[in-house]
Amino acid sequence: VGQYVPPYTEECRSGTYPPSGPTFKGQAPWYKINLDISPRQRWHQLISDKKAELNSLIQGIKDLANAFFPSGKLVELVDKYMGPLADTLPFPFGDEIKGIAEAADIPLGEIVLFNVFYELFTV
């Protein structure tokens, strides 16, 4: 119960490696990104494999936005105004983002938003 309330209460762990048990949820899979092929193509395999998970995340963020703005206007604004931002990004990032949006079948503005999430969340 002490874990719910700061300050820190747990003793330093030991013997947790190699990972196992309830805090370990598996190893991350490996993918190759070939920098020799066009930026629009290089993420295709990865995004095809992770399309369902990526769509689920984007939908989750949209649901959250719609909870605050039930009219759906915020998502509309993202789709309308964030997409063109891709053309202003330095090479090769704009083309890579377009390739990701195409492979995931997600509106470009929503993939741009995902890629500038860090900048949005530093306030």
Partner 1 sequence: CTSVVAEDKTGKLFHARNLDFGLFLGWNATTHAWKVTEQLRPLVVNLDFQRNNATVFKSVNYAGYMGILTGIRPKAFTLTMNERFNIDGGFIGILEWLLGKRDGMWMGFLTRQVLENATSYEEAKNKLAQTKLLAPAYFILGGNKSEEGCVITRSRAASLDIWEISLKQGRWYVLETNYDHWKDPLFLDDRRTPAMKCMNRTTQANISFGTIYDVLSTKPVLNKLTTYTTLMDVSEGKLETYLRDCPNPCMPW
Q: Which of residues 65-84 bind partner 1 (CB under 8 A)?
A: none
Element (H, E) at 77: helix 73-77
Q: State the amino acid at position 1 in one-letter form.
A: V
43 binds partner 1 (CB under 8 A): yes
44 binds partner 1 (CB under 8 A): no
The residue from 44, 93, 102, 107 that contacts partner 1 (CB under 8 A) is 93
29/71 with CB nearer partner 1: 29
Max Cα–Cα distance, the chain, nearest Å: 53
Instruction: Give the 3-state secondary structure of residue 21.
Output: coil
Q: Give me 66's structure tokens.
A: 């719609």
Residue 23's φ and ψ, nearest 5 degrees, are -90, -5
35/71 with CB nearer partner 1: 35
Build a one-symbol-per-residue string for 104-123: x at contacts with partner 1 by CB under 8 A, - elsewhere.
Answer: x------x--xxxxxxxxxx
Residues with Cβ within 8 Å of 41's Cβ and at least 6 positions away in sequence, in order, are 99
User: Where along the sequence are the contacts to partner 1 (CB under 8 A)?
Assistant: 1-4, 6-19, 22-36, 43, 46-47, 49-50, 53-54, 56-57, 60-61, 63-64, 85, 88-90, 93, 96-97, 100, 104, 111, 114-123
